[in-house]
A = this chain, B = another copy of it.
Amino acid sequence: MSWNKADAQVGVIGLGSMGAGIARCLLRGGWNVHIYARKPEVAAAFAEAGAKGHTSPESLGRACDVVVLSLPDAAAVESVLFGPSALTEGMKSGGCVIDTSTIAANSAQEFAERLATHQIRFLDAPVSGGQAGAEAGTLAAMVGGLAEDVDACRDLLAAFCKTLTHVGAVGAGQTVKACNQVAVAGAMLGLADALALARAQGVDPTIMREVLLQGSARSFPMEKHAPRIIEQSFDPGFRAHLMRKDLRLALETANASGAALAGAPVVEALLDQMCEHGRGDWDWCGVAMEVGKTAGRDS
């Protein structure tokens, strides 16, 4: 069986830049949307758009079949699921929680196990595509969970996702999101090195980029971020302190499973440096400015 927009009651908790976009996509798509918002002005705006407001996760849970979370970290997810006036106190057995937050894979697994004791299903569905993708409904979701639960939520996820890939069991969605973040971090590190070398040697970085885009050094950061770095235009985008959070999660997951990563710790350290110098709200591609500043390599 699959949730459909005629019958299903869908909750959204976490109405920040991502969650608000997701809730608006669901409303536009004709779903019955419930929200829990602490800020009265947020609640009022969504009430006007047709969402039913609730004063606690418990109350929202009582009304809903499926609940989408978009929260900053695992502590916030845990509080909504199991804290005071929790979702689990209200939600019926057979319901489903879809967590679009970026948290550790083992947190996702732990939450899934605890929800199972309430007969509540769980999918980890971290997304990429940013605020613009959430508003436009063009996010890419990496989904971990049981195939039957993924299938049941497919139509609902399609309201805010362009692509949805079932990547494995619960936690696998978070792992693939973490893989994405370490992979793009590495490509950014390569770009940062190339820009530092060109600068130090007095070669025009724009010409360098044009040549490199034609060959084996092409990458998304080379294509999209390099012009911003060359112009030193660091309006976010995706903020440096959030990328640092994502890399820390990836490193914790890697460590917990006995894998030593090689590039991500270097980028994490550079992001630390950025945040310490008050540039944590810059777009994370500003990390390239941390490379090449001093001759410090031991040979």
Could you tell me which A residues sit within 8 Å of B by CB distance?
105, 128-129, 140, 142, 163, 165, 167-168, 171-172, 175-176, 178-204, 207-208, 210-212, 214-222, 224, 250-251, 253-255, 257-266, 270, 290-297, 299
Contacts and interface: CB of A to CB of B under 8 A. Distances in A.
Contact of A265 (B214, B222, B297): B297
Contact of A261 (B128, B187, B197): B197
Contacts of A181: 217
Q: Counting chain B CB atoms within 10 Å of each CB, which of A212, A222, A255, A259 scores highest?
A: A259
What DSSP secondary structure best describes chain A's contact surface? helix
Contact of A176 (B128, B167, B208, B260): B208
Nearest to A168: B203
Contacts of A293: 260
B260 A167 contact: no
Contact of A179 (B165, B188, B198, B295): B198
Nearest to A290: B262
Contact of A215 (B167, B171, B180): B180
B204 A291 contact: no
Given A188-B186, A214-B163, A219-B218, A201 B105 contact: yes
Contact of A190 (B182, B194, B217): B182
Contacts of A221: 216
A168 B203 CA distance: 7
A239 to B, nearest CB: 15
A297 B251 contact: yes
A44 to B, nearest CB: 35
Contacts of A216: 128, 180, 184, 220-221, 224
